Structure 1
Amino acid sequence: MAGSTAPGQIETFRYGPHPDQIADVTLPTRATGAAPLVMLLHGGFWRAAHDRLHVRVVADALTSEGYAVANVEYRRVGGGGGWPATFMDVAQAADTLPALIERSRPGRLDLDRTVYLGHSAGGQLAVWAALRDRLPQAAPGRTAVPPRVAGVVALAPVVDLAGTYALGDGGGPVADLLGGGPGDVPERYAAADPAALGASPAPVIVVHGDLDEVLPVDLSRRYHASCGGKLIEVPGAGHFDLIDPRSAAWPSVLEALRLLANA
């Protein structure tokens, strides 16, 4: 990006009737030309206790770098989310928000440089959103054509739902999201698990700290080996360093985003 810009004022857009079907949008105030759009999906194990506010610092930091940012909220487990509502919300946000923002602020976005960026559970949703033309017939969120996205930056993502489920005792967040394990609801894993959906038609860059204390980096290594894309391992970084603009890991996040938004 050419030069840095100050974060703009937050404007909330609604992409559906539910209270959680909203996104906080910030546009760079001194950008020259149309800005790339980052669709930001927060983590928190898909649970209602965690919302988009904990990545507002990420949205502000990216806007300061010259990106337009849509910090997307969605229904979560314990608040009307889970299967299939969470996935339907993310699909609807991806399909409608860019045009809504463009109509409200004509000429401010370069939609050909839209990037999905998600952390942890949001990383799973970001990769999944780019794969929606690969979903089984009648799966929630399926689209007949590849989504209009330049690529995905997935930060410490849950890109292997079955593998993550196997790490727990069967009562963890993946089971809460999908309503059971792979043996209970195999059709849901087939429609939701990035590792099961295969290589993405859009470029995917996974950024994962090698000292991640929440999701072992080996999960991303296995995903990279089976589905391709680019894997950036950040030495000494933990799970939350990737969403801390003050951390030593943050430049790796910006570099991944630049590789896709400026391609």
Structure 2
Amino acid sequence: MAPTSVWSALAVAVLLTATLTSCSGSDPATSAGSSPAASSSVTVEYSPGLTEDIYLPADSKRVPLVVLIPGGGWMTADPAGLASLAAGLAEAGVAAAPAHIRASDDGVTYPAPVEDVLCAVAAATEHLRSAGYAPRPVVVLGHSSGAHLAALAVLAVDDYAPTCDSPEVRPDALVGLSGPYDISQVPDVAAALLGSSPDEDPGAWASANPVARAGLRPEVPVLLLHGDADELVPVDLTTQFAEALDAAGHRTTVEVVPGADHETIYSAEVAADRITRWLRSSGPWTSASRSATP
């Protein structure tokens, strides 16, 4: 485990600068300016001023749905960099929806960003159903601070009461990419999410810590990816979260990807095939499809 003081200094100096400009706002697969190709896509507004782009596969109506949540140090949340991954998932037969959510720069603090995640999930699910798709399973994927928010939205879904225009949905599975899950190890950065220090509001900090909530919904399968070349978020934060999930009974798959860093971990080349293989082999896609109704 990285000492809290060392990791906090790293987070303040690096995570809140580099991730805000390169984490999910630019796409490592499309940095030359090319647009990702997908079978089709549509933009859906799920809350005033908040949208998500839904990438649709061409050859199936019974599909998994993956809602993608960007990072940004809990200060911003621009999903533009996740477009290539979403397109890659759609080409593999998965409906994928990179979503805008609010962050501290928008004047909100916890739990609003988690509630935005849940409303984005609800809207994407409703849109697919209205278009004749059967979205099962429903998966929430997050990168960096977005992985932390995704974990809360999936594991602690019953703790939140979002005001969504669409019927609420309980996500079926979680995918985390290079997440700082244990916010007690990144207090200087996570203060942007909580709007307080751990000493000022220990209850909120415990509630917003996915490691402390790992015992919830043990039936939910989890995939965690982290690059071994990540110099922004230590791999230990993923492996420690995985240990807590395993202890609670989750079917947890962890892959430390050789050569991937904090940015390339969410590229289509690195993540798309690993995610689709996990969906097919670990059970959430197959078991959900057997019980789904069109």
Normalised by the length of structure 2, the TM-score is 0.73
Q: Distance in 2 between matches of 1:112 and 1:33?
A: 10
Matching of residues 205-220 of structure 1 within 5 Å:
205-220=223-238
**What is the Cα deviation at residue 133 of structure 1?**
4.3
The correspondence of residues 183-222 of structure 1 with structure 2, limited to 5 A, is 183-201=199-217, 202-222=220-240
Select 1:238's aligned residue among 261, 266, 271: 261
User: How many residues are paired up?
Assistant: 238
How far apart are residue 140 of structure 1 and its match? 5.6
Match of 2:242 in 1: 224
Aligned to 1:122: 146
Q: Structure 1, residues 76-100: CA drift from partner, whole Å, max 9, x if none?
A: 1212333232122112222343123
- In the alignment, the residues of structure 2 paired with residue 180 and residue 215 of structure 1 have an alpha-carbon distance, to the nearest angstrom, of 22
Q: Which residue of 2 aligns with 1:112?
A: 136
Identical residues among aligned pairs (%): 29
- Structure 2 CA distance, aligned partners of 1:33 and 1:88? 28
Q: Does 1:53 align with 2:77?
A: no
Alignment of 1:1-16 (within 5 A): 7-16=38-47
Q: In the TM superposition, what are the counterparts of 1:97-108 in structure 2 within 5 Å?
A: 97-103=124-130, 105-106=131-132, 108=133
Q: How does 1:24-103 map to 2 (within 5 A)?
A: 24-29=53-58, 31-48=59-76, 50-103=77-130
Give 5+ residue unaligned stretches, structure 2: 1-36, 247-251, 288-294
User: Would you say 1:155 and 2:177 are equivalent positions?
Assistant: yes
Alignment partner of 1:70: what SS?
strand
User: Retained in 2: the 8 A contact 1:159–1:195?
Assistant: yes
Alpha-carbon spacing, 1:250–1:35, altered in 2? closer, same or farther (3 Å): closer
**Larger relative contact order (Cα-Cα within 8 Å, sequence gap ≥ 6):** 2
Mapped contact 1:42–1:55 kept (Cα < 8 A): yes
Residue aligning to 2:8 = none
Structure-2 change in CA distance of 1:193 and 1:34 (3 Å): same
